[in-house]
Structure 1
Amino acid sequence: MKEKVLSVFKEKYGDGGDIRLYFAPGRVNLIGEHTDYNGGHVFPCALTIGTYGAARKREDRKIRFYSMNFRDLGVIETSLDELTPDKKAGWTNYPKGVMWAFRGRGYEMDCGLDVVIYGDIPNGSGLSSSASLEVLTGTMLKDLYGFPVSMVEIAQIGQYSENNFNGCNCGIMDQFASAMGKKDHAIFLDTNTLQYEYAPVKLEDAKIVITNSKVKHSLVDSAYNDRRNECERALADLKKVTDISALGDLTEEAFEAHKDAIQEEVCRKRAKHAVYENQRTIHAEAALKEGNVEQFGKYMNQSHISLRDDYEVSCEEIDVLVDLAWSVPGVIGSRITGGGFGGCTVSIVKNDAVDTFIDTVKKGYKDKCHKTAEFYVVEVGDGAHRLA
């Protein structure tokens, strides 16, 4: 793939000069959904699919972008003097936002650049194509301009730009997983402190299978931000009766003892999910460390029910996919993954059941929802880096 990206770069911008290649992965979250902005734990892993980029510095202040995924848009041109959000700029608002955020931290690009992008993450799938593009941009800037930032800072800059430039109030998980991924490991991350550890993903007789519902979603919409606001209102009520800084500080028992302080029923449901999902994630990581994959799967199933009923970020198509998965012998666990409102499910499936799983779910989904699901048997890969 990197050869294709390099070839297109030379075709669009010409050969010669210091052309550099980069990759930033997408991610799948095994468990711990909508906990990252509630001071809880998440458990994502980087994938071997993601976003490739080629870049070369210019001698003027122009920035030129070209996406192999949106060829009909052609080369989109802007400059270092035009780093403002613009609906007409489309996908380029994501890399522009990262450049804007670098500038806000005092890292000034002294010249423009030419960029070619190619992503093999399906658009709208919930596997973090936007975070992958943000982290790719940060990795490019760090390398090309010699900015002294760590990969954790690149994740933080990506989140900041998506919050403040693109208008999506997302947490840190997606960018952190893309920046800090490690092959064959998931990241057990405390989003309140950014303390993290790597946990080996040892599935000796099973595979991770992602099922794409082909229902597209956009996180830059009211539903995602509504959930965050509802959690904030719940937290404000709880702070009146208990000394906490985030919903992730509560155990299930503490939540049950104080939940009546939450004035609105909808906020109570959202907070319940955030608290219980955080504790599930802590227990699930421990189960995986102990090699108890079956117990890990049970936590995945509980997570989906909570996301469906208490957090209400699932949808009919996703629930059909999960119900079908649960009906297949050899499926250890299955749940929605990502922000919700469509996108993908993640399932752990025993090796000898993978073909049956795909056949059964594909047929059942087509019959019930009249859509054709896509399936990816994925591997866990490394975080963002420059390619040789």
Structure 2
Amino acid sequence: MKVKAPGRVNIIGEHTDYNDGYVLPFAVNKFVFLSLERTKKFIFHSETMNETVEMDEPKKLNKWTDYISGVIRAFEKRGFVVPPVKIVISSNLPVGVGLSSSAALEVAAAYAISEHFGFNVTKLELVRIAREAEVEFVGVKCGIMDQFTSAFGKKGHAIFLDTMTLNYEYVPLELEGVEINLVDSNVKHELSSSEYNKRRQECEEVLRILGKKSFREVKLEELGKLPGTLKKRAQHVLEENERVLKSVQALRKRDFEMLGKLLFSSHESLRDLYEVSCEETDFIVEFLRKKEGVLGARMVGGGFGGGVIVLSKKGVFEKIKEDLARSYKKRFEIDLTFHKIESADGVQKI
């Protein structure tokens, strides 16, 4: 049994998915590949890490195997019996750039196990199993967007997802005359995981103070009741939700000028209100803002490093990326990596 699950890029809707908000991701043509066969012990092998781990039963080791072990434990919690398997993984999905390689691995493992053993789990339940693995077993309190996109992705479309209801619709990604690129800053500041969980706590505190169950009940005019930092966090979430709704309309009308403006605006909010950007990604966005033919750019992912998504007129980015790389190297002594991004279908057998 061989399967592949894609990573994802989120066009807009950052730090909204764990706040009952809207997101607009699409699955990308970079994948985690996974093969599965029955064995006498659990054997997990990563070609990327060049490492094999054997165990009698799935357990937490605080390494990449936790994503697979967590998926198996989530199946077991639902009453399924997963016999010992050998799982081999490889990937052409860059790690740490905000393409959700961990979610792709979880979805690939969940799908392969369900298909191989005939569990007949629905796609939505696979998403829940994959997310549960990351939240409860790995210990990262992520939203559901990453796993959802890896499972439900559709080539040529973005997914407009309401993370509160899990209602979704496919929005055609007809990028005529424009293209999407990803710039990897090649920095990941140590703050990333601790600050990510701190932002979640701050958002929970906002709801507690305002006496609300969800951000969907919060109005902009109520934010005056909050202390400074919490007010900024809440303002980002509410305004980012509005930007997602406007971006869906822009995409439908193929108004890429408007979509680009919304990307820049999202980055400013992530920098000034949510305070999760960093000097390096700010530098990339500001450099691109001044270039003719670049319509929009913003940091993607949890923040404190990682990637920047760039929307530009076709052919423009190729002409300016070397200049960007030179300027960045001069400023930070770090090389940039570039990825041209195209849409893909969700998890599938090979």
> What's the CA shift for 1:285?
0.6
CA distance in 2, matches of 1:249, 1:365: 42
* TM-score normalised by L of structure 2: 0.97
Instruction: Provide the residue aligned with 1:162 in structure 2.
Output: 134
SS of residue in 2 equivalent to 1:169: coil
Aligned residue among 5, 29, 39 for 2:20: 39
How far apart, in 2, do the equivalents of 1:187 and 1:217 lie?
A: 29
1:258 to 211, 222, 237: 222
2:43 matches 1:64? yes
Moved more, 219-228 or 29-38: 219-228
Match of 1:273 in 2: 236
2:60 equivalent in structure 1: 85
Alignment RMSD: 1.4
Letter in 1 for 2:4: F
Give the conservation status (yes or no) of the 8 Å contact 2:192–2:303: no
Aligned to 2:348: 385
Q: How far has the Cα of 1:258 moved from its partner?
A: 0.7
Counterparts of 2:288 and 2:3 in 1: how far apart (Å)? 36
Q: How does 1:207-222 map to 2 (within 5 A)?
A: 207-216=179-188, 221-222=193-194
State how far apart, in whole Å, the 1-side matches of 2:12 and 2:190 are. Answer: 21
Cα offset for 1:223?
0.8
Cα drift, residue 219 of structure 1: 9.0
| CA offset digits 1:324-376 (Å, max 9, x no partner) | 11121111110001111111000111113121231222122112111111111
Per the TM alignment, residue 295 of structure 1 is displaced from its structure 2 partner at its CA by 0.4
Aligned position for 2:77:
104
CA–CA distance in structure 2, aligned partners of residues 132 and 217 of structure 1: 23
How many Å apart are 1:217 and its aligned residue?
5.5
- Structure 2 residue ranges without an equivalent (≥5): none
Name the CA shift for 1:355/1:34 in 2 (closer, same or farther; >3 Å): same
Task: Please give the per-residue CA displacement for 1:255-286, whole angstroms capped at 9, x wherever unaligned.
Answer: 1x111222x32111111111110111011111
Change (3 A) 1:271 1:302: same
The CA distance in 2 between the partners of 1:116 and 1:312, in whole Å, is: 38
Residue 218 to residue 181, structure 1, CA distance change in 2 (3 Å): farther
Tell me which residue corresponds to 1:223.
195
Q: Output the amino acid matched with 1:258.
A: E
Question: CA deviation digits over 1:37-74, x for unaligned, max 9?
Answer: 1011000000010200111122x3x1101111111x3x
Distance in 1 (alpha carbons) for counterparts of 2:260 and 2:248 = 11
Aligned to 1:313: 276
The CA distance in 1 between the partners of 2:97 and 2:315, in whole Å, is 26
Query: Using the alignment, how far apart are the partners of 1:368 and 1:179 within structure 2?
Result: 39
CA contact (8 A) 2:71 2:109 kept: yes
**Separation in structure 2 between the aligned mates of residue 113 and residue 84 of structure 1, nearest angstrom:** 14
Relative distance call for 1:368 and 1:248 in structure 2 (3 A) is farther
Contact 2:192 2:302 in 1 (8 A): no
Q: Secondary structure at the match of 2:188?
A: coil
Partner amino acid for 2:284? L
> Residue by residue, what CA displacement relative to the aligned partner does 1:151-182 show, whole Å, maximum 9, x if unpaired?
12111111111111011111001111111100
Q: Which residue of 2 aligns with 1:11?
A: none
User: How many angstroms apart in 1 are the aligned matches of 2:192 and 2:337?
Assistant: 24
Matched residue, 1:181: 153
How much identity, in percent, do the aligned residues show? 40
Could you tell me which residue of structure 2 aligns to residue 76 of structure 1?
Answer: 53
Look up the match of 2:89: 117
What CA distance in whole angstroms lies between the structure 2 residues aligned with 1:313 and 1:278? 17
Residues 53, 118 of structure 1: 8 Å contact kept: yes
**2:55 partner amino acid:** T
**Relative to structure 1, is the Cα distance of residues 278 and 178 closer, same or farther in structure 2, using a 3 angstrom cutoff?**
same
User: Cα offset for 1:221?
Assistant: 2.4
Q: Which runs of 5+ in 1 are unaligned?
A: 1-19
1:199 and 2:171 aligned: yes
**Counterpart amino acid of 2:123?**
M
Q: Is the 8 A contact 1:362 1:373 kept in 2?
A: yes
1:48 equivalent to 2:25? Answer no
After TM superposition, what 4+ stretches of structure 1 lie above 4 angstroms from structure 2?
Answer: 217-220
Mean CA deviation greater in 151-160 or 306-315: 151-160
Structure 2 distance, partners of 1:290, 1:245, is 34
Partner of residue 363 from structure 1, selected from 320, 326, 333: 326
Change (3 A) 1:279 1:123: same
C-alpha separation in 2, matches of 1:185 and 1:225: 31
Q: CA deviation at 1:218?
A: 7.3
Task: Find the aligned partners of 1:108 and 1:218 in 2 and give their Cα distance.
Answer: 38
Quickly say closer, same or farther: Cα 1:220–1:368, change in 2 above 3 A. closer
* Inter-partner Cα distance in structure 2 for 1:118 and 1:366: 30
Q: What CA distance in whole angstroms lies between the structure 1 residues aligned with 2:179 and 2:323?
A: 17
State the number of aligned residues: 350
Name the CA distance, whole Å, in 1 between partners of 2:192 and 2:110.
21
- Cα distance change, pair 150–219 in 1 and its aligned pair in 2 (3 A): farther
